[in-house]
Structure 1
């Protein structure tokens, strides 16, 4: 067993975790980043990124994460490739246990494990991801200006995505497998008031249809949940909006989570229910879920952690002086 020790331990290597690492390293905290199951986070599966500040041209998600990691390492971050299977937050230093037997100890812990979009689980969906099928209208809606798009889902996420897409498209279809929506009443009112949005009730996606060269989404085959009848809706973009899974399984019973399973933090900060543990990025943010907001909260987590350690050090010095 090898024990790796640091002042600042970071779990997760997406924009939030790496931003925390950059700030932590520059503060002399010698951070260790344990990369986790998906090194680089969701941007590693994102091709064109057009909304990250500082780049006038479209950039690639994996390239951006490679640059962030290189910057973090350049200023003193140690990157570790491991999958954490157990945590101990009952004492400090906090401990993370890797599946290979290694142990990671940190005086403070920054959790940046992110969240994953829920998908329908169709083979055709997997084939056309990034080719017309998306799980983020805010990220990809811009590419469908003036085109016909569809949103799949019936909760807040789906209605918010449909409303957002009206900024780019005059032809938005919401597809829902039931005959009523689960979304909040105010969102439903806005949806039904929009002349740009139509709704298909009692329909579920049977298959995403590809075509063209290079291949992209050209339509969605729908199945009526009442009659079983199949129909086809021609669209250029399809947005799956059935929610997200925050990666918080490790922390159940160790940290306070909200009703949706996200790590609960104090308003306006990244402080969790355990002193010295901080959360940033999509694991605590179920509203914005953008790379730039994740990076921003990563910065916040590093600053919160640095101030926590400074306050503790000051208290120890004051106590020794008495």
Structure 2
């Protein structure tokens, strides 16, 4: 059954950015409604130890997200378990339609939809997804206890995945297409010094091979990026760790984007190309991509939404059929 709700501030997406925005918006008496999305808590829910969250020497990612959600609830934010599948940002009030059938209209909106894992797009990769090919070591690493696995990539994601997998696998082979890693130096040091890790430089994944009955990975073919030669590496699992792409499909045709889909924000703010719509976290951040920076942007978005609403007013019961420009005032219908 479809329903309609009008809210002052709608927050789309959870995770550090969304939950922090909800905390600040609730404290500002904006009565925010946060729609969590398909993966409540975002990428941190598939992360184990988080060692760089201020105030916690070490905390499990899912535990941190539970705490942040509880904090937002305690401040008065309404947390909804639903998924927004379309939005209309062409005029105020903005409109968002959820999978449940609920249609939200909102005076202002904060987007915090985060990012998602990238894939190489190989047919064999697709064929063995869920049968030995994964993009989440923390989700699937346990299944490879005492076995040999491969990690594809060379950035922070790949090195973190490889180090995590050493807790289970007998050997971890990292395949990187270049001759040096892009990961942080401290992570590189840990990886290169680990006795269970072998790095194969200047190679890329060419294909995954395995059995059909029962279906499972038996190895990979990797190609030398300099000579083109192909060699086999026997592994039971393959983890694709080539980074993440912003989850901007919802707004890619309505907001300005760059760098492969990241939402553009005005320098030093979370303001997007549509006044009254703010974006925070990994949806906008192609540089830092950290939980703490996402939380900081969530704070910024809530404060900026509060100020913007104070200047532009609420839309309920008012004629706002025309899109508004920056600084435009909403006047009562005559």
Instruction: Using structure 2 for the length normalisation, give the TM-score.
Output: 0.71
Question: 2:307: which partner in 1?
Answer: 307
Question: 2:287: which partner in 1?
Answer: 287
Question: 1:161: which partner in 2?
Answer: 183
- Bigger fraction of residues in helix: 1
| Superposed CA RMSD | 3.7
Question: 1:190: which partner in 2?
Answer: none
* CA displacement at 1:319 relative to structure 2: 8.7
Cα distance change on mapping 1:50 and 1:316 into 2, 3 Å:
closer
1:217-242 deviation digits (Å, cap 9, x = unpaired): xxx95423355431359xxxx97442
Question: 1:85: which partner in 2?
Answer: 85
* CA displacement at 1:167 relative to structure 2: 3.8
Distance 2:189 2:43 in 1: 25
* 220, 223, 227: which one aligns with 2:221: 223
Q: Conserved in 1, the CA contact under 8 Å of 2:8 and 2:108?
A: yes
Question: 1:12: which partner in 2?
Answer: 13
SS of the equivalent of 1:267 reads coil
> Gaps (5+ residues) in structure 2?
120-124, 142-148, 211-217, 314-326
Question: 1:42: which partner in 2?
Answer: 43
Question: 1:124: which partner in 2?
Answer: 132
Instruction: Using structure 1 for the length normalisation, give the TM-score.
Output: 0.73
Task: Confirm or deny that 1:200 pairs with 2:222.
Answer: no
Question: 1:69: which partner in 2?
Answer: 69
Runs of 4+ in 1 over 4 A off after TM superposition: 119-122, 132-135, 137-145, 148-155, 202-205, 315-320
1:191-219 deviation digits (Å, cap 9, x = unpaired): xxxxx9862335547479xxxxxxxxxxx
Q: Conserved in 1, the CA contact under 8 Å of 2:3 and 2:101?
A: yes
Cα distance change on mapping 1:203 and 1:70 into 2, 3 Å:
closer
Q: Conserved in 2, the CA contact under 8 Å of 1:151 and 1:162?
A: no
Task: Confirm or deny that 1:136 pairs with 2:137.
Answer: no
1:144-193 deviation digits (Å, cap 9, x = unpaired): 99xx97554548xx942275632434359xxxxxxxxxxxxxxxxxxxxx
> Gaps (5+ residues) in structure 1?
173-195, 209-219
Q: Conserved in 1, the CA contact under 8 Å of 2:83 and 2:98?
A: yes
Distance 1:224 1:316 in 2: 57
1:92-107 to 2 correspondences below 5 Å? 92-107=92-107
Q: Conserved in 2, the CA contact under 8 Å of 1:85 and 1:98?
A: yes
Distance 1:165 1:23 in 2: 34
Cα distance change on mapping 1:42 and 1:90 into 2, 3 Å:
same
* CA displacement at 1:47 relative to structure 2: 2.2
